[in-house]
């Protein structure tokens, strides 16, 4: 319409069409006219039927339907004057939900496809079914008895560097001491594996090395590595000098007058067989360089200050199936 209404008066005209009635409201400010339209849309459930570029703003009372929600007019564009724009939001949510669904289902389809392919492969052979068997993980296997009349199996490493090698050392003559309370303390480890590795390395260099397990109050479990058996402090110092020549400098002289005797004095072959069984359970046995009657050998394990310190290792030997008692070195 023109800049003036039909009565020739300046300003803006708001026409509100009710069924059978048309209300007119005039204002000189376009912003106020728009606010009037917005107010009526909100309070009276009106919808904009037409907005002229001229001076007339037209709103129309929509026909209400009980229980129904009024819809925006078909204007071909966006809903005017604050009408809720839910269509685009719903489309975006639906699209996002569809994409998420595809992302979740795609791996399932891939797995199913792979399974079908494997099942159809002629080279595919299903694994046989195994019955459930109760297993006690803490049960120790029973020691295997040696067949009667058969020579016990001996570990070749021990034959080269264990008690057999110690027995080949220079024999002790008459008047030799009966006690060897001194040894050389080489190192201490929290790990039994590391201690065993050093004992093995020392034995490969011709040393009479062995280890001892102790529980120290306030400090926990330790595996000590010792080397040699000596009757006096001076002899032990000589042993330390020999170790320094091998590159082992951090050592100390130690008086350990107690050892654990496993079983009684045995013939050489039986003593070597016992040494092999001890070695299989993680114990390094040794023998003293002194003569026993009838060429018998006493198998020893560990070196300790007292019988109370030897108790922890004695318990370990008992758990492994060996009978041990504390004796004087």
d(CA 300, CA 163): 10
The mean pLDDT of 206-217, rounded to a whole number, is 94
**The pLDDT value given to residue 29:** 74
Q: Between residues 116 and 97, which one has the greater pLDDT? A: 97
Of the ranges 90-104, 161-175, 262-276, 284-298, which one carries the lowest mean pLDDT score? 161-175
The structural domains of the chain, with segments of one domain joined by +, span: 1-62, 156-328
**The pLDDT value given to residue 28:** 72
Greatest Cα pair distance in the chain: 149
Q: Which two tokens stand for residue 80?
A: 């005017």
Return the exposure string of 6-24: e unless at least 16 CB atoms fall within 10 Å of the residue's CB, then b.
eeeeeebbbbbeeeeeeee
Given a contact cutoff of 8 angstroms between Cβ atoms, the answer to whether 220 and 261 are in contact is no
pLDDT tens digits along 247-264: 999 999 999 999 999 999
Same fold, 1-62 and 156-328: no
> How many Cβ atoms from other residues are within 10 Å of residue 241's Cβ?
9
pLDDT tens digits along 294-328: 678 999 999 999 999 999 999 999 999 999 999 99
pLDDT band for position 286 (cuts 50, 70, 90): very high
d(CA 232, CA 222): 26
Nearest to 198 by CA among 246, 266, 255: 246
d(CA 36, CA 317): 101
Nearest to 180 by CA among 289, 284, 99, 312: 289
Q: State the pTM of this model.
A: 0.54
The mean pLDDT of 25-30, rounded to a whole number, is 72
15 Cβ contact partners less than 8 Å away, ≥ 6 residues apart: 22, 23, 24, 25, 56, 57, 58, 59
d(CA 242, CA 23): 121
Order the strands of the 324-328 sheet from edge to edge: 285-286, 300-304, 258-262, 324-328
Quickly list H helices, the chain. Answer: 30-43, 86-120, 156-161, 163-167, 192-204, 233-245, 268-280, 307-319
Question: Is 1-62 a CATH 2.60.40 domain?
Answer: no
Phi and psi at 324, nearest 5°, equal: -135, 150
Q: Between residues 21 and 170, which one has the greater pLDDT? A: 21
- Which CATH homologous superfamily contains domain 156-328? Sporulation related repeat (3.30.70.1070)
Phi and psi at 182, nearest 5°, equal: -105, 150
């Amino acid at each position: 319409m023109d800049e003036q209404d039909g009565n020739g008066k300046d300003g803006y005209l708001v026409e509100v069409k009710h069924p059978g009635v048309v209300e007119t409201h005039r204002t000189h400010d376009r912003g106020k006219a728009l606010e009037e339209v917005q107010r009526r849309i909100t309070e009276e459930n009106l919808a904009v039927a037409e907005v002229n570029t001229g001076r007339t703003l037209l709103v129309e009372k929509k026909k209400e339907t009980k229980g129904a929600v009024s819809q925006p007019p078909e204007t071909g564009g966006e809903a005017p004057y604050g009408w809720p724009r839910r269509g685009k939001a719903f489309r975006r949510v639906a699209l996002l939900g569809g994409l998420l669904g595809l992302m979740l289902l795609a791996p399932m389809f891939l797995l199913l496809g792979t399974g079908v392919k494997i099942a159809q492969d002629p080279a595919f052979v299903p694994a046989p079914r195994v019955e459930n068997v109760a297993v006690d993980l803490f049960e120790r296997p029973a020691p295997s008895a040696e067949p009667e009349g058969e020579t016990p199996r001996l570990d070749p490493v021990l034959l080269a560097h264990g008690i057999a090698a110690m027995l080949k050392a220079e024999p002790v003559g008459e008047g030799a001491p009966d006690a060897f309370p001194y040894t050389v303390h080489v190192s201490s480890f929290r790990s039994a594996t590391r201690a065993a590795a050093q004992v093995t390395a020392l034995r490969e260099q011709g040393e009479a090395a062995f280890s001892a397990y102790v529980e120290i109050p306030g400090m926990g479990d330790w595996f000590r590595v010792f080397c040699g058996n000596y009757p006096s402090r001076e002899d032990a110092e000589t042993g330390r000098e020999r170790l320094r020549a091998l590159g082992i400098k951090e050592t100390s002289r130690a008086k350990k007058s107690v050892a654990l005797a496993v079983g009684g004095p045995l013939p050489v072959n039986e003593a070597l067989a016992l040494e092999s069984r001890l070695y299989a359970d993680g114990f390094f046995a040794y023998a003293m360089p002194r003569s026993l009657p009838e060429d018998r050998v006493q198998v020893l394990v560990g070196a300790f200050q007292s019988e109370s310190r030897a108790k922890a290792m004695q318990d370990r030997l008992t758990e492994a199936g060996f009978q041990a008692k504390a004796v004087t070195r």
